[in-house]
Amino acid sequence: MTNNYQKITTGYGPEDIALDDSNPQRPRLLISCTTYKGSKGIDGGIWQYDLKGDSLKATQMTINGYKDLAEMRPHGISFRKAFGKDNLKNLLYVISHEQNKKIHKIIVFEVDGDELHYQDEYNNMEEPLIQNPNDLFVTSKGDIFYSNPVEFGKLIWRKKIGYVGYIKNGQKQAEVLVRNLLFPNGVILIDNELYVSDTSLKKLFKYHFEEGRLVDATPEEMGKIKGGDNISLYENTLLIANHPKPSRFPLYVYFGSKSPSSVYQFKLKDPNNQLEQIFYDKGKNISGSSTAIIYEDHLYVSQVVQNFILKVKLEELRK
């Protein structure tokens, strides 16, 4: 491991990361950690990493007011920055799978310094359309978009019953927004364009969304990407982590064997609209890449089993 590649110690299974730049003096990554079968530790929860500090260690955040904390198994997260009179608090939305994956939730926390304070939740006991949530994106107004893939064990049947759910701000009821997907994973809304990566269909889709509905249910295919995972935004570019050899990913999760990692970019303003690979690792430095974020001169890549995030100098990617 060279200075161009550094490992930031986190809790085990840092599946998703989100940028919190609400305090310019203290920008940080918020990190969703949970224990998978291949993990050796049990230190899940929400962690944070100071992007301006010199340390290569993240710290665990304190969670207050959540009665099911012992059951909490974080998955996808989305940070909603305080924005005008409609949202006076910084909020973190967390997908959690609890009670041996029988209970699925989207939990809302206020982000207050190093602490999280429980605010609200959506769950499959009250809203059955929250069946198997994976990733989510929350707008500045509080609208929630979440991917709901086919359960992993049922993928063999190849039935397109995965979907993207939508919960309008101020409501508890969900609705199916996008249908006919297999394993929808990353989801993000940019202006009026909804982007969805489908891990199993190996494609990035775009839908036009206006006034709480899709203008056209037929998506535009933006390109092929094997094992597409979470999506983040950097300037005018989408970053999509992926599993370039999907058949090796389950072996990594359950048995610890190496699985290649990759990150693609999709430039929103590029008239060519092409997916371009900007990072690839055979498994030497990282396996099971799940989310990618660029901050200043580094790329940060998370993964789903071990207890670290990989920090890569951007100049290394340009060689």
Task: Report whether pLDDT(36) > 80.
Answer: no
pLDDT confidence band for 58 (50 / 70 / 90): very high
pLDDT at 167: 97
Q: How much is the average pLDDT of 251-263?
A: 89
Mean pLDDT to the nearest integer, 149-162: 66
**The pLDDT of residue 303:** 96
Q: Which of 81-85, 190-194, 274-278, 279-283 has the lowest mean pLDDT?
A: 81-85
Asked whether residue 85 carries a pLDDT value surpassing 90, the answer given is no
Residue 44 has pLDDT above 90, yes or no: no
Q: Given a cut of 60, is residue 205 above it in pLDDT?
A: yes
- The average pLDDT across 209-220 equals 89
The stretch 133-146 carries a mean pLDDT of 96
What mean pLDDT is predicted for residues 201-227? 93
Q: Taking the domains of the chain in order of start, what are their residue ranges? A: 5-317
Q: Which residue has the higher pLDDT, 200 or 58?
A: 58
Q: For domain 5-317, is the CATH number 2.120.10.30?
A: yes
Structure confidence at residue 154 as a pLDDT band (50, 70, 90): low
Percent of the chain with pLDDT over 90: 77
- Residue 169: is its pLDDT beyond 60? yes
The arithmetic mean of pLDDT across residues 277-284, rounded, is 96
Q: Across the chain, what does the average pLDDT equal? A: 91
pLDDT band per the 50, 70, 90 thresholds, residue 88: confident
Please tell me the total number of residues recorded for the chain in this structure: 319
pLDDT tens-place string over residues 89-133: 999 999 999 988 789 999 999 999 999 999 999 999 999 999 999
Query: What is the per-residue pLDDT for 251?
Result: 85
Give the confidence band of 270 by pLDDT, cuts at 50, 70, 90: confident
Average pLDDT of the segment spanning 165-180: 94
Q: Is the pLDDT of residue 64 over 90?
A: yes
Name the band, by pLDDT with cuts 50, 70 and 90, for residue 287.
very high
pLDDT tens track for 244-256:
998 888 888 888 8
Whether pTM exceeds 0.85:
yes
Of 255 and 177, the structure prediction assigns the larger pLDDT to: 177
pLDDT band at 1 (very low <50, low <70, confident <90, very high): low
